[in-house]
Amino acid sequence: MKMTINSKLKDSCGEPIVSSARQLTRIGFATLLVVGMGGSISARNSALAQGVEQSPASPPKVRITKKDCKRIIRHQPAADVAYKPGVDVRGNPVTSADVGGGFSIPLPDVFEFNITKDLTAYLDGPEEQLAADKAAAIAAERSVAATNAAVSSAETAVTEAQAVYDDAVAAAEAAAAASEAAPNDTDLAAAATSAQAEADAAAAGLATTQTAYNSTQSAATSDDVTGALAGAQSALAAAEATAAAAGLDADAVSAATADTSAALIEASQAATDSATADTAALEAMETVSKSAGMTLNVGTVRYNINTGAMTFNGKPLNDASEAELAEKCRAMMKAK
């Protein structure tokens, strides 16, 4: 049988209808058999009864509905597309994400929290804090000034002790030269020996003064005003001892260490000012601490997770208030 395609006529799937070119002379059945996968394919222009001859100009046509098309081209997913627990995309076994061994925290059905009001603003808290900060800054500044003054005083003591030592060494050298020039003069020999002893004592005193200066500088580095002042006092004492050991009388000792004495007076006053500033700063901080953390407990909110009920001080909240607080509670629970 020769088949032709009628390109002008298309089925509901959009395909041209195929027909036979041979004339059908007789139809042996009352109707054409239904064709397709359960579809409603029907024969158009078929003979309604046996013995009816079909016209050559009207070849039989097959009509396919959209429903038939959908059944024919229905998507059939591949076997490896659907998710399968325990295997990866290549079929290899994998450990499930829910491996167990974790822990859970049991949560109560009812949560309570207090609504408080910070009273610091009503008790001059900001002003007190500002005053305390200012006092602390002044105390820090005074502390630096005091330690610097102590170091300066100790440094002056070293300078003056060095000058006493240099004079003692020069005197010893001169006495030794005189003794050598008159080797038979016992008085010159004794004077040379005494001068050298004074020079040696001055050297020891200078070393002690230097040690006191080092201690003063170390205390100042640690911001220890008291320690720095004590070091400066020790340096002055060492410088005075150096001068006395070099053979100077009391007036000469005072003259030799006059600058150190004046510097130490300034350092002492700076230390006093620093201590006063520290006391003021501590008092200011104590004032702040008395009002810090003072809060007023306005009330207690209870929220039931299961029922969603919310009360404030035992009384149900109105719709607007409850909605707002409930939303905050839900946000808090989500963020846990």
- Are residues 260 and 156 in contact, defined by beta-carbon separation less than 8 angstroms? yes
Task: Give residue 26's pLDDT.
Answer: 39
Tens digits of per-residue pLDDT, 94-140? 776 665 655 677 888 888 988 888 777 676 677 888 888 888 999 99
Percent of the chain surpassing pLDDT 70: 66
Does residue 3 carry a pLDDT above 90? no
Element (H, E) at 61: strand 61-63
Per DSSP, 14 falls in state S
Mean pLDDT of 293-309: 83
Q: What is the 3-state secondary structure (H, E, C) of 74-89?
A: CCCCCCCCCCCCCECC
Q: How many CB atoms lie within 10 A of CB 150?
A: 32
Residue written as tokens 């053979």?
A: 247
Residue 191: what pLDDT?
Answer: 93
pLDDT at 127: 81
Neighbours of 318 (CB within 10 A): 9
Q: How many Cβ atoms from other residues are within 10 Å of residue 174's Cβ? A: 13
276 vs 66, residue with greater confidence: 276
pTM of the model: 0.52
Please name the helix (run of DSSP H) or strand (run of DSSP E) that holds residue 247, with its range, or none: none
| Residue 168 scores a pLDDT above 90 | yes
Which of these ranges, 31-35, 80-84, 91-95, has the smallest mean pLDDT?
A: 31-35
